[in-house]
Structure 1
Amino acid sequence: MKFDREHWRELDINVDSLWLMGPRAKGGRHTNIYHGNFAPQIPNQMIRRYTEEGDTVMDLFMGSGTTLYECETLKRNYIGFDINDEIIDFVEDRMRGCDAIDYHIHNCDVTNKEAFCRNVEDDLRRMNKRKVDLIMVHPPYLDIIHFTNRPEDLSSISDLNIFLDRFQIAMTNALAYLKSRHYFALVVGDIYRNGEVIPLGFYMMYTIKKAFDCELKGIVVKDIVGNRAKIGQESLWRYRALVNGNFLFKHEYIFVFKKK
C-alpha cells in the first residue's frame, strides 16, 4: 500500500513488534470452529499494509478461511490451498453468494510442484495477472495437531528436519509467483517436545533466510488469548510449568519478509 504522508496518522496499522490484540475478531464469515485457525487481525493488518484493493493474496494453508474472509472484506482477490476435504467443503459453503472478489480454493499439496503450479497459473490467467501481491503462510506446527491422515500433510511429520525440507519446497513453489519487492508473512509458534522448547518459528525463519533472496522486515510477537486447549485448565498448566521448570507459551511469531 502507498502511504500518503498527510494521512498516515489516520491509518490503523500496527507497526509495533509486540501485538496485544485481545480476543479474536468476530463478524462477517469468521468462526472459531477450527483448532488451527489464527486471529483475523493478523491477515487484516498484513493485507491492508502491503496490498491495494484488487490485488491478489496467496494463502498456502487455508484452514478455516480466515485470510479469505479478510480478503473479501478488504476487496482483495484470493488463491488458497489446503488438503483437508472437510474444511475445504466448509469454507466453500461459507463463501456461497460471494461475488465481491475473485477467489479460488484448491485441494492441493503445496509441495507438489506440478499440481501447485498448474493451479496457480490457471488462476492467474483467469485473473489476467502474472504474479500475486502478498503470500500468507500459517503452516502446521509440526505434528502437534493432526489435520488429516494424508501422508503429504505436513501435520503428519514429527521429524524437524523432514518438516523443514518439505516447508522449503512449499515456499520455493510459492515464491516463484510473488512479485519482486513484495511481501510474505509467516505466522508460527514454538512447541514443547521431550521436555524442552523446540523453537520452530526460528528454525522456519532461518530456513527462509538461508534458502531465498529476501529481507527480514520484522519479527512480531503476538500474544495468544484464550487458547482452546488451555481454557479452564490454567491452574493445571501453571502447575505443570512450575514442576517441569518451563514457561507457558503465550505468544506466536509473525515473520515478515520482502522478496528481493
Structure 2
Amino acid sequence: MKSSSSAYNLPLFHDPLDNGAEEQETPKPKRTSPLNDLDLNRWREYDDITTDSLWLIPERDRSGAHLADYHGNFVPQIPYQAMRRFTKRGDLILDAFLGSGTSLIECRRLGRHGIGIELKPELAQQADDRIASQSNPYNVKTIVLTGDSSNTVSTPRVITHAVEEIGKEQVQLVFLHPPYHSIIKFSDQPEDLSNCPSVESFIQKFGQVVDVVTPFLETGRFLVLVIGDMYAASEWIPLGFHCMQEVIGRGFSLKSIVVKDMQGNRAKRNLENIWRYRALAGGFYIFKHEYVMFFRKGIRNGRTAI
C-alpha cells in the first residue's frame, strides 16, 4: 500500500501568535463495514482494490502456490478482490466448484477459512496438495471435499460436517464458477455440468447447486458467480444471464455485474487470425469477456431467503 502521508497528515494552519505550538489533528476512529476489514477513513490507500465494473487483467497472478496448468480455473485476482471487499479475516468461504484450488489458496494468503467441493477425486487430491503447499501465516483451516455440488441430499450433510469442523455455523462468502456448459468437457462423469445434454438441463442442475449452498450462506452476505456465455447452433446463448436468474429466483438481490476480459484465453491462444476469419465468415463476435456477478442474500417479501 502506498503511504497516505500527503493526503492525511498535512500540517494544520499555524497561527504566528500561538507561541509556536501547533494544534494536533485528532486521529479519526476506524470506520469499517460489517462486511470487511477496510478502514473507510483510509480509502485512498486501497489502490489494490478495484471498484470499477470493467476488469482488465493482463495476466494471472502466479505468486505463491498459484499455477495456470488447469484449463478452466479462474484467475486468483477474482477471489482476492471478492474476499477483500466482502469478508473479514477469520470468515469462512465456500467454493462449490473448487477445480485446482485457487480460491482456497487465496484463503490461506488472506486469513480466511475455506471449504471447497470438487467432483473429480484426482483433481480434489491435487488441489488439496497444492493448497497445503501455500504458507498459512494466519493458521486458518481449509478443507477439500470430493463430491457433487448439485446433489441436494448427500452434499449438504458433508458441508455441514465441514462447517462444524472449522467451528462455524454459516459461511460468509460463496463462490460459484461452474463449467460454461459444453465449451470444455471436464470429465466423463454424468454429474459434471459440462456433460448436460442441453442448456435447459444445465440451468436446472446449476439451480440445484444454488439450492445446496444457499442455506449455508449467512443472510446479508455475498455469493459470487463467475460465468461466461457460449455459442450453440450459430446462436449466442446468454448462459450468464440464465444463471443469474436462477440465483435471483432463490432470494438474492443482484448487486453488481463485472465484465472481465479474457485476453490470452488458452483455447484461442495463437489462433487469433483463424478466429478473426471465422467471425467475419460466420457473422459473429469473438468472446473476449466473462462475467463476475455479485449477489447478496437478503430478505424478500417479508421473508428471509433460505
TM over 0.5, yes or no? yes
For residues 195-225 of structure 1, give each alpha carbon's deviation from its aligned partner in whole angstroms, at most 9, with x where no partner exists. 111110011111211x211210001000012
Note if 1:145 corresponds to 2:181.
no
Identify the match of residue 133 of structure 1 among 154, 162, 172: 172
SS in structure 2 of the partner of residue 6 of structure 1: helix
Taking the aligned partners of 2:133 and 2:275, their CA distance within structure 1 comes to: 43
Contact kept? 1:142, 1:158, Cα under 8 Å? no
Alignment partner of 1:114 is 2:153: yes
**Structure 2: which 5+ residue stretches go unaligned?**
1-35, 299-306
Alpha-carbon separation, structure 1, partners of 2:131 and 2:202: 31
Shift of 1:80: 0.5
How well do the aligned residues superpose, as a CA RMSD in angstroms?
1.2
Corresponding residue of 2:41: 6
Distance in 2 (alpha carbons) for counterparts of 1:42 and 1:91:
18
Alignment partner of 1:241 is 2:279: yes
Find the counterpart in structure 1 of residue 269 from structure 2.
231
Q: Percent identity?
A: 41
User: How many residues are matched?
Assistant: 259
Please tell me whether the aligned partners of residues 104 and 131 of structure 2 are also in contact (alpha carbons under 8 angstroms).
Answer: no
Residue 257 of structure 1 is matched in structure 2 by 295
Q: Higher mean Cα deviation, 69-78 or 5-14?
A: 5-14
Contact 2:227–2:240 (8 Å) recurs in 1: yes
The structure whose RCO (Cα within 8 Å, separation 6+) is larger is: 1
Per-residue CA deviation, residues 220-252 of structure 1 (Å, 9 max, x unaligned), is: 000012100111111000010011010010000
Residue of structure 1 equivalent to 2:131? 95
**1:122 CA displacement:** 0.8
SS of 2:267's partner is: coil
Pairing partner for 1:157 from 196, 205, 225? 196
1:41 aligns with 2:77: yes
Aligned 8 A contact 2:116 2:145 in 1: yes
The two structures have a TM-score, normalised by structure 1, of 0.96
TM-score, normalised relative to structure 2: 0.82
Question: Who is 1:177 aligned against?
Answer: 216
Greater Rg over alpha carbons, structure: 2
Which segments of structure 1 move beyond 4 Å, counting only runs of 4 or more?
none
**1:187 paired residue number:** 226
Aligned equivalent of 2:10: none
- 5 Å-filtered alignment, 1:45-84, equals 45-84=81-120
- Residue 97 of structure 1 and its aligned partner are, at CA, apart by 5.3
Indicate conservation of the 8 Å contact 1:154/1:163, yes or no. yes
